[in-house]
Amino acid sequence: MKVIIQDGEFDPWKAVQEYQSENIADGKHGASVTFIGSMRDFNDGVDDLSKMYLDHYPGMTEKHIERVCEDALNKWDVLDAFVVHRVGNIAPNDAIVLVAVWSEHRAMAFDACRFIINDLKHRAPFWKREANEDGERWVEGNTVDEVADQHSDMAKRAS
Amino acid sequence: MKVIIQDGEFDPWKAVQEYQSENIADGKHGASVTFIGSMRDFNDGVDDLSKMYLDHYPGMTEKHIERVCEDALNKWDVLDAFVVHRVGNIAPNDAIVLVAVWSEHRAMAFDACRFIINDLKHRAPFWKREANEDGERWVEGNTVDEVADQHSDMAKRAS
Amino acid sequence: MKIAIKYFASMRDTMGKANESVDISEKSSVADLWGAVTQNPMPENTLIAVNMEYTSSEHVLNEGDEVAFFPPVTGG
Amino acid sequence: MKIAIKYFASMRDTMGKANESVDISEKSSVADLWGAVTQNPMPENTLIAVNMEYTSSEHVLNEGDEVAFFPPVTGG
**To the nearest whole percent, how much of chain A has pLDDT over 70?**
83
**To the nearest whole percent, how much of chain B has pLDDT over 70?**
83
For chain A, the domain total comes to 1
> pTM of the full predicted structure?
0.89
Determine the pLDDT at residue B25.
Answer: 85
Average pLDDT (B129-133) is 84
Determine the pLDDT at residue D21.
Answer: 97
Contact A108 B152 (CB under 8 A): yes
Determine the pLDDT at residue B145.
Answer: 55
Average pLDDT (A22-31) is 88
Report the greatest alpha carbon distance in chain D. 39
Distance from the B108 Cα atom to the nearest Cα atom in chain C, whole angstroms: 21
Average pLDDT (B59-87) is 96
DSSP 8-state code for residue C8: -
In terms of residue numbers, what domain contains A42?
Answer: 2-158
Residue of C nearest to B57 (CA): C8
Q: Which residues does chain A have within 8 Å of residue D52's beta carbon, measured at their own beta carbons?
A: 57, 59-60, 63-64
Determine the pLDDT at residue B153.
Answer: 44
Contact C10 B128 (CB under 8 A): no
Contact B40 A28 (CB under 8 A): yes
Distance from the A64 Cα atom to the nearest Cα atom in chain D, whole angstroms: 8
Average pLDDT (D49-70) is 98
Question: What are the tens digits of pLDDT across the range A44-98?
Answer: 666 666 789 999 999 999 999 999 999 999 999 899 999 999 999 999 889 999 9
Average pLDDT (C27-53) is 97
Mutation target vs B (from A16, A21, A22, A32; most B CBs, 10 A cutoff)? A32
Residues with Cβ within 8 Å of residue D15, at least 6 apart in sequence: D7, D37, D38, D69
Question: Please, how many CA atoms are within 13 Å of residue A6, restricted to the half-sphere of its CB?
Answer: 18
What does the domain layout of chain D look like in residue ranges?
Answer: 2-70
Whole-number Cα distances in Å, A1 to A102, A112, A140, B26, C64: 10, 13, 30, 31, 57
**Architecture of the domain defined by C2-70:** Roll (3.10)
Domain at B43, CATH number: 3.90.1170.40
**Regarding predicted confidence, which is higher, B72 or B133?**
B72
* C72: contact with B, CB 8 A cutoff: yes
Determine the pLDDT at residue D76.
Answer: 82
ipTM of the prediction: 0.88
Mutation target vs C (from B34, B52, B53, B55; most C CBs, 10 A cutoff)? B55
